[in-house]
């Protein structure tokens, strides 16, 4: 019976139109990002355990230093994204610091580029060719350039995310070893 109530509550949330209660401003800190959140680029701060709205305006998201970028392209009006949230946010909190030099990013619009209040979020969906949601993009940046990418479309469980990220890192390291000899 409890499962039925949980399903009904989830359906109620998915079908209700969220009110924009949160004002969008760079520097905004939140525990998690949802349909009521301002559009833009959020970055996870490991020290505080919070998401910080880093950019609202701009061309598209650009990595700021070398390392691994795990980017969740989120559509606020996407039911599958709301389901993925149940895995994404715990994954980042539990495993966020397990991957060396890793950066976690959420890029949020209401519905891809068609309904988006943020020029940088809209531009990021376009630049990275995101046409399905949820999509998680893995980028490996070295010497200020993107060395490798992998696109994960659809919802992934925590164990799947850990495996995908681990395999991506191994493939990048493998290419470094094979390329050096």
Phi, psi of 60 (to 5 degrees): -165, 165
Q: Is the pLDDT of residue 21 over 60?
A: no
137 - beta bridge partners? 71, 151
Task: Tell me the whole-structure pTM to 2 decimals.
Answer: 0.85
**What are the tens digits of pLDDT across the range 81-132?**
999 999 999 999 999 899 999 999 999 999 999 999 999 999 999 999 999 9
User: What pLDDT shows up at residue 78?
Assistant: 94
Q: Is the pLDDT of residue 23 over 80?
A: no
User: What pLDDT shows up at residue 123?
Assistant: 97
User: What pLDDT shows up at residue 181?
Assistant: 41
What's the average model confidence in pLDDT over 143-167? 96
Q: Is the pLDDT of residue 160 over 50?
A: yes
Cα–Cα distances in angstroms (integers) from residue 160 to residues 72, 144, 154, in the given order = 14, 28, 11
Q: Is the pLDDT of residue 180 over 50?
A: no
């Amino acid at each position: 019976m409890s499962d039925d109530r949980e399903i009904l509550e989830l359906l109620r949330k998915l079908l209700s139109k969220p009110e924009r209660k949160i004002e969008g401003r760079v520097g905004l800190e939140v525990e998690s990002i949802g349909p009521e959140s301002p559009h833009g680029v959020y970055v996870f701060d490991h020290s505080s355990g919070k998401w910080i709205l880093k950019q609202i305006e701009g061309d598209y998201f650009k990595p700021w230093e070398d390392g691994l970028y795990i980017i969740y392209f989120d559509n606020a009006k996407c039911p599958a994204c709301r389901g993925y949230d149940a895995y994404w946010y715990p994954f980042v909190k539990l495993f966020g610091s397990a991957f060396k030099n890793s950066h976690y990013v959420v890029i949020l619009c209401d519905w891809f580029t068609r309904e988006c209040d943020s020029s940088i979020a809209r531009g990021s969906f376009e630049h990275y060719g995101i046409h399905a949601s949820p999509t998680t993009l893995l980028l490996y940046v070295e010497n200020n350039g993107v060395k490798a990418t992998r696109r994960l479309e659809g919802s992934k469980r925590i164990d799947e995310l850990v495996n995908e990220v681990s395999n991506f890192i191994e493939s990048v390291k493998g290419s470094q070893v094979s390329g050096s000899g």
